[in-house]
Amino acid sequence: MKKTLIAGMIMAAGFFGIMGDSETASAASKDIRPSVIWDDARLVEGQIGKVTILKDTSRLIKESNGSFKPAGTFKKGNTYRVYSYEKINGVYFYGVGAGVYVKNSSDVFYKTPSVLKKRQMADLVMIKSDLLTDAENGKLKGQDIIIKRNTIDDVKSKLGEPTDEGLFEGSRYYQYGKKYVYFTELPDGKEIFTSKYLVDSVTDISPLYVINRLGTGSLIREGFFEEDQTWKIIYKMGDNLVYFVFGVETGRERLIYIQLQQQN
């Protein structure tokens, strides 16, 4: 009985909704996963939706043979995070964590995040330790281009023609959509020496968030830069530098782009 109770409390701490007691509420408050506000709660990393219980319905545990076994009841009025789903014989089963599922029926209401919320989460979850690992190898996360190894011709063969290109501070830039920009040296250089990832304008990422996610082990500078009126966090990864550049126009810092370049 004690083992069942503890398992239930751990499972509840991962749910999307009001916790049943102070211990599980305390566990939920220590959840440090990236998140954005969605309706009246948090949309967290790994979450694909939420399910609201409209009428008491069976709590299902997935067995090793793939079948579902009733194990208690989801109570009317509660809402839970959904992390996965399975479709069996045309019926959806929503996974709410810890191997627990709820069957789709008229007794539940399933909702997925809006496109806006997905855009906000995409940039939040990108900032993690492997971003720096990739940077040390010359690659900015999400881009299959290596600085000082690939040329603009390589970029074009993979991504096609840029949506925009031109001159900027002694370099030629090639922009692809709303996310990626590559720079080559003038007058006729083709080798990529800098790449940028443009952060979505709907995402609010602070310097503190970046530091908390990436730590300070490779950090070489943080502060305000007068020349372009931005706040920067700079990491050194091998021969490369990673810049997190924040705009300050609104009175607080918000990440506007991430830049990878080889150290001069």
Bridge-based pairing of strands 230-237 and 108-111 is: unpaired
pLDDT at 264: 66
d(Cα 260, Cα 131) in Å, to the nearest integer? 11
Q: Which residues of the chain have pLDDT under 50?
A: 1-28
For 25-54, the three-class secondary structure string (H helix, E strand, C coil) is HHHHHCCCCCEEEECCEEEECCCCEEEEEC
pLDDT at 205: 92
Q: Do 171 and 194 contact (CB within 8 A), yes or no?
A: yes
How deeply is 101 buried, as exposed, middle or buried, from its count of CB atoms within 10 A (0-12, 13-18, 19+)?
buried
pLDDT at 7: 36
Nearest-5° Cα angle at 138, 169 to 126: 95
d(Cα 160, Cα 233) in Å, to the nearest integer? 32
d(Cα 145, Cα 181) in Å, to the nearest integer? 11
pLDDT at 10: 36
Q: Name the token pair of 105.
A: 């029926």
Burial 55-84 (b: 16+ CB within 10 A, else e): eebbbbeeeeeeebeeeeebeeebbbbbbe
pLDDT at 30: 61
Taking CA atoms, 51 is separated from 66, 71, 218, in Å, by 22, 18, 41
Q: Name the token pair of 183.
A: 């720079």
- Give the pTM: 0.79
Taking CA atoms, 139 is separated from 147, 196, 219, in Å, by 7, 10, 18
- Distance from first CA to last CA of the chain, Å, rounded? 64
d(Cα 142, Cα 202) in Å, to the nearest integer? 19
Closest alpha carbon to 132 in 255, 245, 235, 262: 235
d(Cα 96, Cα 15) in Å, to the nearest integer? 7
Q: Name the token pair of 67.
A: 């079948």
pLDDT at 64: 87
